Amino acid sequence: MGKTAIRTICKVDFDKPASEQPQLHNRWHPDVPFAGTIKDGETVKIECLDWTGGQIKNTDDADDIRNVDLTKIHYLSGPFEVEGAAPGDVLLVEIMDVQPFQDQPWGFTGIFDRSNGGGFLDEIYPSAAKAIWDFEGIFCSSRHIPHVKFAGLIHPGILGCAPSAEVLAEWNRREGELIAANKLKDRDVALPPQPLNVHAGSADTEIKEKVGREGARTVPGRPEHGGNCDIKNLSRGSKVYLPVHVPGAKFSVGDLHFSQGDGEISFCGAIEMAGIITINFKVIKNGVADLGLTSPIYIPGPVEPQFGPGRQIFFEGFSVDQHGKQHYMDVTVAYRQTCLRVIEYLRRFGYNDYQIYLLLSCAPIQGHVAGIVDIPNACTTIGLPMDIFDFDISPAAIPAKKLDMVNCAFETGVSEGKVVTDAGKNSEFSFGGGMTYKECAD
Amino acid sequence: MGKTAIRTICKVDFDKPASEQPQLHNRWHPDVPFAGTIKDGETVKIECLDWTGGQIKNTDDADDIRNVDLTKIHYLSGPFEVEGAAPGDVLLVEIMDVQPFQDQPWGFTGIFDRSNGGGFLDEIYPSAAKAIWDFEGIFCSSRHIPHVKFAGLIHPGILGCAPSAEVLAEWNRREGELIAANKLKDRDVALPPQPLNVHAGSADTEIKEKVGREGARTVPGRPEHGGNCDIKNLSRGSKVYLPVHVPGAKFSVGDLHFSQGDGEISFCGAIEMAGIITINFKVIKNGVADLGLTSPIYIPGPVEPQFGPGRQIFFEGFSVDQHGKQHYMDVTVAYRQTCLRVIEYLRRFGYNDYQIYLLLSCAPIQGHVAGIVDIPNACTTIGLPMDIFDFDISPAAIPAKKLDMVNCAFETGVSEGKVVTDAGKNSEFSFGGGMTYKECAD
Amino acid sequence: MGKTAIRTICKVDFDKPASEQPQLHNRWHPDVPFAGTIKDGETVKIECLDWTGGQIKNTDDADDIRNVDLTKIHYLSGPFEVEGAAPGDVLLVEIMDVQPFQDQPWGFTGIFDRSNGGGFLDEIYPSAAKAIWDFEGIFCSSRHIPHVKFAGLIHPGILGCAPSAEVLAEWNRREGELIAANKLKDRDVALPPQPLNVHAGSADTEIKEKVGREGARTVPGRPEHGGNCDIKNLSRGSKVYLPVHVPGAKFSVGDLHFSQGDGEISFCGAIEMAGIITINFKVIKNGVADLGLTSPIYIPGPVEPQFGPGRQIFFEGFSVDQHGKQHYMDVTVAYRQTCLRVIEYLRRFGYNDYQIYLLLSCAPIQGHVAGIVDIPNACTTIGLPMDIFDFDISPAAIPAKKLDMVNCAFETGVSEGKVVTDAGKNSEFSFGGGMTYKECAD
Amino acid sequence: MGKTAIRTICKVDFDKPASEQPQLHNRWHPDVPFAGTIKDGETVKIECLDWTGGQIKNTDDADDIRNVDLTKIHYLSGPFEVEGAAPGDVLLVEIMDVQPFQDQPWGFTGIFDRSNGGGFLDEIYPSAAKAIWDFEGIFCSSRHIPHVKFAGLIHPGILGCAPSAEVLAEWNRREGELIAANKLKDRDVALPPQPLNVHAGSADTEIKEKVGREGARTVPGRPEHGGNCDIKNLSRGSKVYLPVHVPGAKFSVGDLHFSQGDGEISFCGAIEMAGIITINFKVIKNGVADLGLTSPIYIPGPVEPQFGPGRQIFFEGFSVDQHGKQHYMDVTVAYRQTCLRVIEYLRRFGYNDYQIYLLLSCAPIQGHVAGIVDIPNACTTIGLPMDIFDFDISPAAIPAKKLDMVNCAFETGVSEGKVVTDAGKNSEFSFGGGMTYKECAD
């Protein structure tokens, strides 16, 4: 008799603090209570807040980014019980749709301040900055990065099933060891359990305290369950195969992105938004063993925006850093260099470095591991689609008169003039003795 | 009056040692003499030997791989003078075609022995192995990895312009520092200049000795000129923008690949072949400054094999290694884990690990940097096209009866039974105290 | 300060007859009053009824299809005034999004009875039939055509600007001549103005009567303005360039399709639905002359579902009809034959002919004009994506056990057994003396 | 032990008339003797002359096109025996590669004179014209249509198995009826058997005369075997399923095209060339019945040039002809109108109509049957890739200064000024009483 409207299993309230909404939570822990039950085979809609729970506003300064409280994030919707799911099964999650709320057609991309979150290029770009994006149907554009418009490859940044107690203990062990080995460094290398601002859904006080003590932070993705994998292609139509670790699966989802580039390089780099995700759930009994599954796998949907291979400029980066230092087969260094190559290239059209850094984080760029065996240089590439710009950025283009590129939003006290913009060899960095990512001992 | 056959500027001789052919060379150095002159705007054909200069044979054992002489490689064709090119210019190189020789329709993929070259997974797979590929038109297949056939994304592994003396000195400085810092390790971290088996084209003795003393090895790609970038998408129709460092450009090319996967993970991981590349050359005066070019950029051609997004399985890997150790934002570790996930998945269809390792290296897999900011876990993905197999490898497939998967070629003394095949947690590694890539100090 | 919800310029009411809603109309005429005003550059949402104005129900019989009142259709939303648009201008219409109503996630595909509308294959398939499609996010599936699921290439079947009085007169002249030349035939060859059930929006009685007398029917697309072009790729992200014939443009839109195959062969062949279209409007002054525009042109958006070329089976058809008669370069005959080839091919998997006829009409098949010059045979092809089926339909597939294919909905008195299903040479047609399309004199 | 060069089963001789080469033939007839034998499963190379057997030269006039002898064409290579193939089987033909001869890197596109062959637009463009194309690797360009370069979607225009005597008789019957019904017209509607210039391969005189009397001309494709289907996507990697009608299949191939647009509209509209095709042959026993095959089907290969959907301009055409006459659902008329819309659009960049007519015929344009049910107007579309031009042809482009577009080659006595170039309403046709395609009775 035809489908009636699809059941919404989780609603969010924009007029109430995220921390007071029992169908949300912000830690991974097996004891967070179920927020609803889904049948095997059912399709449901799940509403989600943006990952910060509403801390970021639609404004032209970035003080909210500067001051974001990272103990609170990410607010996820769930966990949901999937009937019949048991440890050792695989939960097949088909993403039928992701949409922003119709009356809130906007999102944000942020660069965190180096002292509060940082990002992939924070040694060079240490200040907080922000771009607001307006949505019109499948497209987005920004008053902070003009002359750009593109279709969102919309997706959830986070989805996964809760860890078992054993899996959680293993996470805490190995991340604890990394933290211990780096405790004198001026950079957080991982985030330990944090009771402050813990949100354990509808849990009672005792459980909530336990979740605060033990619960894994939502920031990293982890191999056993996926979680915050931030995979830009995990968009509409994708099928994700998730290992189940606890009875009922305890599936959670959140951190919806209107778009993201490979790497999400500025950390808050996607176009972050609140929205609604429609998911179909199926249980594959004994799937973990049958599929030989250690980490999630997925198959993309058929509707990725496509530009044609010949409409992308690819930039190459190698594991020699901006100080001329040779690193050994370090893809992380190579990818950072590749990002810098894009920034250098786009400068000539009038954008400043922070605008490009933001754009790289959220536009549908392709980041490839090109060569990983030619010692000592790993090589990565980034493909930048030319057709997201409303002017010609090809190498043949002559940027005759500069377009007005305005600027992105900055934290108070920072302006374009003061920003460190030269990523090249002769740059004068505004911070001293900064530890690079690389210099953290594993 | 219409085109006659395109000029072949470089022919190779299969009956003569590579070292005796003056139009070839195997080091980067500004003093290697020109091997021919190309007009600005001209299209020429350039024949190339395979990168080893013919050391690998079409056989069913891998002793030739085991014993490959790495002091000799890579044999490049050139260097060629491009009229009008000067330092600061950009050489625009359009790859009009790449073809194997019609009477030699085969190539090889090798896994180097850990003690002679190694590869990205050599801690786990230390033995030499080989697969021979037969070409039929655009397709290849292998008696060593049956039930697979795919169209080659054919390309040169190496192309670039010679370094200036200054650029070469910088290469030797920074790579020398890396070598010095790691000299007690049991692994080569970079290859210093090597007089043994140097080939400087038509140079006289004095120049040849100088090239031997100073010349950069061809193994790594380097940011200043590209070189051995091993980018699989640099195929037919691609336009590459190469910085020019010396008068006349001194362009060289070689290391032709019938196909390669992102990363070329087994080092000799592409389908290596001899062949003919057709290139159009154009000089862009002052291009380095005008384009803001620090490293090469390229725009792919329009004819990449395409599978549709929904016909690829994507595997996820994170920077937690197979020993359970948490690494900090290490994309190299994450990519290695992603490779292992593919190996674990394909095992159930009857392939052994070395076959999959070889296949991963040469089939057109997509390797993406997915998330690089969620401390401490970098996340990478690999997309494996399902349609290169002649049976169903989708998660829905039931591998009822095992197909006969034969085996790849191994070095003498190694057989499938003795090979270390378990990359999982409980594996018993056959080597002790192996230094990981990661453990080399930068 | 960021976008608030996009303005909805036209709402529809499901509880009121379409004929009583003044923002709708069902004839093309320059005198239909404006239903709203849009600024040059503005983006608005426009709600639309399904093309029949709600005549078709979500049921398992096709009597509603059998009895559809074609004097009423199509109900279009509009016409809207676009500020600044004048005759000779081009209206650039960018389709930002098309969505079904969230609480009505279903649509229908119909085969009209030969005596009431007919369709492209009505000589062979004369009965009314129907399939109901359920929407889940970007995907649809049907209880009447099981084992099929695909992503909608969602689009409007009709959009265009009102004709001027001169253009309208030309339409009536040329179509009147065709009708006059064929008046003794048993088939309608075109639909003349029809006062019965005319809906002229908010027009007063006098205007309404004039529109009834003169107004062009909405069934055919016409070169001067596009109109009912039924182009399946005119989906999200498309930019359409529409000639303007009257001051203010008088733009109308409707006939939303969740999906359609090239040709929309069963006439009511798309997945017809009510929904909401989001459009951005821009006026290009003097565009008709500047662009040399006689008919609309468009540029598709970047998000078409893609299957990969190697995942489609292409069928070939020629201008020799099913009676063995040779037609001269007749693409219409060739395309009909190509449709029959698909039907014959899919039969072996258990679908009946009406199910396939419906599927061909609405699934994203590619219909190409392949060869049009090799006298006397035009050749067309249809590409059928294999991946919309949940079982293997490739030529290599062995349809071992028949799946349960249920059936589509039929008009009362018709069941599968009585339906004429043999399109081959020996078929016994259930109707006598049927005039073929071809036999109508032009 | 690895592949040696693939066997060439058919060589052509450029120094000898095609009519004297026994491995070629130019009629379809079951009695043409075998030209070689292929094993089931074997891959072979087959050399082919261009379809005219060398009548067209690399010159700047089109007199050779004007005077082409159509009794001679097409020269096909074969017929080849495929071991084990019998009537009722399907021959699975996989096109592994198609290449021009390396020392003849050029081809031609021609517009036939209306009195000798004609073409799809010959009422409007009656003169003979020609463009010569130069090949550089995968790309082609022409001195006669400057500022265009594109990758060839290279393919054979003709391939198929010989008809049985019964199938051949049916062809002669139905085409004979069409000819008889139109014998007073000034246009050939089909070509009957033609003893003049018949070439029956190695047949003796008696057989040759029989082939001359009965043999089917190679011009049209025919549903029973495919033949001259001129499908542009039947390129490298395609798998074609061909019905077998005689023992040994008697497979023939020829009419190689470097590129073609959908429709091949100027008749000699592809980029015609001599070349080498590499094919793998497999016999599917009883395939005709098992696959329900009435006409050939095919699955394209994975390497079609791709532009991205958003990089094509689509033109719409309807079945109202250039005289304002309304035709009834006539796709042929609609497609001709769509062609005219492209010509009108490209004129403003400086090309003349004949250049565009040639370009439309051979560039990889997409021709779709868009809507075929909205009486009385069929609607077709043509997608023109913008990226084959080296300047901007988008609607946003401002053709400020005209580029020098030179001209195509014309037959003697015709120059640009005298050519009828106006396809619009006010055109003065240079021929009187011309019968349109449409006016031929079926």
Q: What is the pLDDT of residues A131-170, one digit of tens each?
A: 999 999 999 999 999 999 999 999 999 999 999 999 999 9
CB A240 within 8 A of CB A93: yes
Nearest Cβ partner of D371 from C230, C341, C375? C230
Predicted confidence (pLDDT) per residue in B78-96, tens digit: 999 999 999 999 999 999 9
Query: What pLDDT score was predicted for residue D185?
Result: 80
Q: Provide the pLDDT for residue A419.
A: 43
pLDDT higher than threshold 70 for residue D416: no
Residues of D in contact with B43 (CB under 8 A): 136-137
Q: Which of A181-195, B57-71, D189-203 is least confident?
A: A181-195
Sort residue D3 into left (φ over 0), alpha (ψ -120 to 50) or beta.
beta
Assigned token pair, C153: 């290439």
Contact C427, C417 (CB under 8 A): no
Contacts of B387 in chain C (CB under 8 A): 308, 310-311
Q: What is the pLDDT of residue A428?
A: 30
| CA distances in angstroms from D287 to C345, C396, D91, D160, D283, listed in the order given | 12, 10, 8, 15, 8
Beta carbons of C306 and B307 less than 8 Å apart = no
Torsion angles phi and psi, residue D418, rounded to 5:
-90, -10
With an 8 Å Cβ cutoff, the interface of chain D facing chain A consists of 306-311, 387
* CATH fold group of domain C8-299: Jelly Rolls (2.60.120)
Contact status, residue A395 vs residue B238, Cβ threshold 8 Å: no
- Beta strand D43-48 with D8-10 is parallel
DSSP C63-120: HHHHT--TTS---EEEEEEETT--TT-EEEEEEEEEEE-TT--EEEEEE--TTTT--T
Question: Between chains, do A306 and D307 touch, taking CB under 8 Å as contact?
Answer: no
- Chain B CB contacts of C387 under 8 Å are 308, 310-311
**Longest pairwise C-alpha distance within chain C:** 70
Nearest CA-CA partner of A371 in B223, B252, D67, B141: B223
The ranges assigned to domains in chain D are 8-299, 309-416
List chain B residues with CB under 8 Å of A270. Answer: none
Question: Is there a contact between B387 and C310 if contact means CB atoms under 8 Å apart?
Answer: yes
Give the closest-approach CA distance of B203 to chain D in angstroms: 32
Query: How far apart are the two ends of chain C, measured CA to CA in Å?
Result: 59
Q: CA D145, CA D261: separation in Å to the nearest integer?
A: 15
Asked if C211 contacts C195 with a C-beta cutoff of 8 angstroms, the reply is no
- State whether C104 and A5 contact (CB < 8 Å): yes
CA–CA separation, B259 and B244 (whole Å): 28
A95, A134, A151 member nearest C3 (Cβ)? A134
Among D95, D105, D138, the residue with its CB nearest the CB of B237 is D138
Report the residue of B311, B366, B387 to disrupt the C interface, i.e. the one with the largest count of C CBs within 10 Å: B311
DSSP-assigned states of every residue in B272-337: E--EEEEEEEEEETTHHHHTT-SS-EEE--S------GGGEEEEEEESB-TTSPBPSS-HHHHHHH
CB contact under 8 A, D387 and A306: no
Chain B partners within 8 Å of A263 (Cβ)? 369-373
How many angstroms separate the CA of residue B306 from the nearest CA in chain C?
A: 6
Contact at 8 Å (CB) between A199 and A33? no
CB contact under 8 A, A307 and C302: yes
For residue D308, the model assigns a pLDDT of: 82
What does the pLDDT read at residue D173? 98
Does the pLDDT value for residue D359 go beyond 70? yes
C-alpha dihedral, B318 to B320 to B323 to B324, nearest 10°: -120
Query: Residue B353 is encoded by which pair of tokens?
Result: 């690990």
Cα separation, C383 vs D225, in Å, equals 19
Going by C-alpha positions, the residue among B294, B278, B302 that lies closest to residue B226 is: B294
8 A C-beta contact, residue D247 and residue D164: no
How high is the pLDDT of residue C398?
74
Helix (H) or strand (E) run with residue C270 in it: strand C267-272
Please name every residue paired with C313 in a beta bridge, in sequence order, or none if there are none: C384
| pLDDT reported for residue A401 | 67
Q: What is the pLDDT of residue B309?
A: 83
Percent of chain D with pLDDT over 70: 92
Subunits adjacent to chain D (3 or more Cβ pairs under 8 Å):
A, B, C
Residue B441 pLDDT:
43
At the fourth CATH level, which superfamily is domain A309-419? Acetamidase/Formamidase-like domains (3.10.28.20)
Residue D292 predicted with pLDDT over 70 = yes
Query: May I ask the CATH class of domain D309-416?
Result: alpha beta
pLDDT by residue for chain B (442 residues), tens digit each? Answer: 456 799 999 999 999 999 999 999 999 999 999 999 999 999 999 999 999 999 999 999 999 999 999 999 999 999 999 999 999 999 999 999 999 999 999 999 999 999 999 999 999 999 999 999 999 999 999 999 999 999 999 999 999 999 999 999 999 999 999 999 998 888 899 999 999 999 999 999 999 999 999 999 999 999 999 999 999 999 999 999 999 999 999 999 999 999 999 999 999 999 999 999 999 999 999 999 999 999 999 999 988 888 888 899 999 999 999 999 999 999 999 999 999 999 999 999 999 999 999 999 999 999 999 999 999 999 999 999 999 999 999 998 876 667 899 999 999 988 653 444 444 333 333 322 233 333 344 4
Q: Which tens digit of pLDDT belongs to each residue from C294-345?
A: 999 999 998 888 888 889 999 999 999 999 999 999 999 999 999 999 999 9
D310 vs chain A: nearest CA distance in angstroms?
7
- DSSP 3-state assignment of D42? coil
Which pLDDT belongs to residue D186?
A: 80
Nearest CA in chain C to A142: C2
Kindly state the tokens that stand for D86: 């019998």
Mean pLDDT of chain A: 92
**Contacts of residue B306, Cβ cutoff 8 Å, sequence gap at least 6:** C308, C309, D302, D303, D304, D306
**C373 interaction partners in chain D (CB closer than 8 Å):** 119-120, 230, 263-267, 269
Q: Which of A4-8, A390-394, C427-431, D397-401 has the lowest mean pLDDT?
A: C427-431
Pick the residue from chain B with its C-alpha nearest to C386: B311
CB contact at 8 A, D97 and D275: no
Burial of A398 (0-12, 13-18, 19+ CB in 10 A): exposed
CA-nearest residue to B238 within chain A is: A310
**Alpha-carbon gap: C30 to the closest alpha carbon of chain B (Å):** 45
| Helix, strand, coil tally for chain D in percent (to 5) | 15, 30, 55
Residues of B in contact with A341 (CB under 8 A): 294-295, 297
Report the SS3 class of residue D335. helix
Q: Which of B303, B304, B307 to mutate to test the interface with C (most CBs of C within 10 A)?
A: B307
Other chains touching B, judged by 3 or more CB pairs under 8 Å:
A, C, D
Chain D: closest CA distance from residue C287 (Å): 9
The C-alpha atoms of residue D329 and residue D320 are separated, in whole angstroms, by 9
Q: Do the interacting molecules here have an ipTM over 0.95?
A: no
What is the least distance, in Å, from the CA of B272 to any CA of chain C? 26
- Tally C-beta pairs within 8 A across A and B: 329
CA D295 – CA D287 distance, rounded (Å): 12
When pLDDT is averaged across residues A77-82 and rounded to a whole number, the result is 98
- Low-confidence spans in chain C with pLDDT less than 70: 1-3, 399-401, 415-442
| Whether the Cβ atoms of residue D108 and residue D133 lie closer than 8 Å to each other | yes
* Angstrom distance (rounded) from CA A415 to CA B68: 58
CB spacing of D311 vs A308 below 8 angstroms: yes
Which residue is closest to C108 within chain A, CA to CA? A2
pLDDT at D418 over 60: no
Q: How far apart are CA C324 and CA C313, in angstroms?
A: 25
Is C387–B310 a contact, with Cβ atoms under 8 angstroms apart? yes
CA distances to A21, A76, A108, A409, B421 from A104, rounded to whole Å, are: 20, 19, 12, 20, 52
Q: How far is CA A179 from CA A182, A223, A224, in A?
A: 5, 19, 20
In this complex, the residue of A5, A132, A306 whose CB is nearest that of residue C302 is A306
Q: Report the distance separating Cα B359 and Cα B339, nearest Å.
A: 11
**pLDDT for A427:** 34
**pLDDT tens for residues D226-248?**
999 999 999 999 999 999 999 99
Q: What's the pLDDT score for residue D37?
A: 98
pLDDT of D89-128, one tens digit each?
999 999 999 999 999 999 999 999 999 999 999 999 999 9
Kind plus residue range of the DSSP H or E element containing B345:
helix B331-347
Pairing of β C251-257 and β C275-284: unpaired
Distances (CA, A) of B325 to A243, A316, A442, B322: 21, 30, 8, 7
Residue contact D96–B1, C-beta within 8 A: no
User: Exposed/middle/buried for D432, CB within 10 Å: 0-12, 13-18, 19+?
Assistant: exposed
Residues of chain C with Cβ-Cβ distance to D381 below 8 Å are 231, 233
Mutation target vs C (from A143, A299, A303; most C CBs, 10 A cutoff): A303
Is B309-416 in the same CATH topology as B8-299? Answer: no
SS3 labels along A312-323: EEEEEEECECCC
Decide: D318 and D336 in contact? Cβ < 8 Å.
Answer: no
B337-368 burial, b at 16+ Cβ within 10 Å, e below that, comes to bbbbbbbbbbbebbbbbbbbbbbbbbbbbbbb
Best mutation site among D186, D316, D398, D421 for testing chain C: the one with the most C CBs within 10 Å?
D316
Other C-beta atoms lying within 10 Å of the C-beta of residue A377:
29
Residues of A with CB under 8 A from a CB of C: 1-6, 43, 58-59, 95-97, 102-106, 132, 134-139, 151, 236-237, 278, 280, 301-307, 387
* Cβ-based contacts of C237 with chain A (< 8 Å): 138-139, 151
Question: How far apart (Å, rounded) are the C-alpha atoms in residues D360 and D269?
Answer: 8
D330's CB contacts (< 8 A; 6+ apart) are C330, C331, C332, C442, D319, D378, D438
The pLDDT of residue B432 is 27
Chain A CB contacts of B243 below 8 Å: none
CA-to-CA distance for A124 and A265, rounded, in angstroms? 13
Whole-angstrom distance, CA of residue C297 vs CA of residue C98: 19
